[in-house]
Amino acid sequence: MLFQYEAELDAFLEFLIWRFSIWVDKPTPGIALMNLRYRDERAVESRGKVRTGLEGPGLTVAQKLWYCIATVGGQYIWARLQSFSAFRRWGDTEQRPLARRLWILIQRIEGIYRAASFGNLLIFLCTGRYRNLIERVLQARLVYGSPNMNRAVSFEYMNRQLVWNEFSEMLLLLLPLLNSSSVRNLLRPFSKDKSSSSAEDSTACPICQATPIIPFVALPCQHRYCYYCLRTRCAAATSFRCLRCSEPVIAMQRHGGVSTE
């Protein structure tokens, strides 16, 4: 039930953070740790040069409301639109051209937004202003809140956090590149349970270890698989090898039927 209403819960939490921080002219907990606050850059530019972060008014009511609409409402609507289009399979249908066009439009909008966010990131690294597109459009700049700040977070904790962050990003980059079947075949000689693997039921699918409901055999080795398991593995890897004999699979055939390339 929580997974079903995940988008609503995220939007509600984002609204609470906005209500008790930005709406009442207070920084969020993360921004407060960095001694930052939001400033209306339009008012500063109209007044002339000021000291960065020590002068200038906060956000106006309109800026606060638009910030809530963009961060809370915009993210919620986009998340629901993506989940609805994926559930309805707009991208897979060919009989309904309108749904297909909407799916292509959604993908293009997402691509344009990602490209604009990347461009804004490059500009932010050069100028240090407006870390995301919402802040740039609203001209809400993060500046220092006070001239002096007592750091409450130790450097040891920050170093540990940086190490784990880099380690998790490395895993997220490498894990999708690994072929699970190849890794399993590589580690199979070192498995302790060799007796059970040798006495494995030859009628079970070697991928899901269940009796195939729609049995297909791999060619030319003639080992039996589930249709879905064998089809997805062959589609994912053109050089898929049989998990029982490690022989390259060049085609698949229904058990007692005609072969399929």
pLDDT for 198 equals 44
pLDDT for 145 equals 81
pLDDT tens sequence across 19-66? 999 999 888 888 888 888 898 888 877 666 665 567 778 899 999 999
* pTM given for the model: 0.54
- Residue 142, pLDDT above cutoff 50: yes
3-state helix/strand/coil string of the chain? CCCCCHHHHHHHHHHHHHHCCCCCCCCCHHHHHCCEEEEEHHHHHHHCCCCCCCCCCCCCHHHHHHHHHHHHHHHHHHHHHHHHHHHHCCCCCCCCHHHHHHHHHHHHHHHHHHHHHHHHHHHHHHHCCCCCHHHHHHCEEEEECCCCCCCCCCHHHHHHHHHHHHHHHHHHHHHHHCCHHHHHHHHHHHCCCHHHHHCCCCCCCCCCCCCCCCEEEEECCCCEEEHHHHHHHHHHCCCCECCCCCCECCEEEECCCCEEC
More confident call, 67 vs 29: 67
Taking residues 255-259, report their average pLDDT: 61
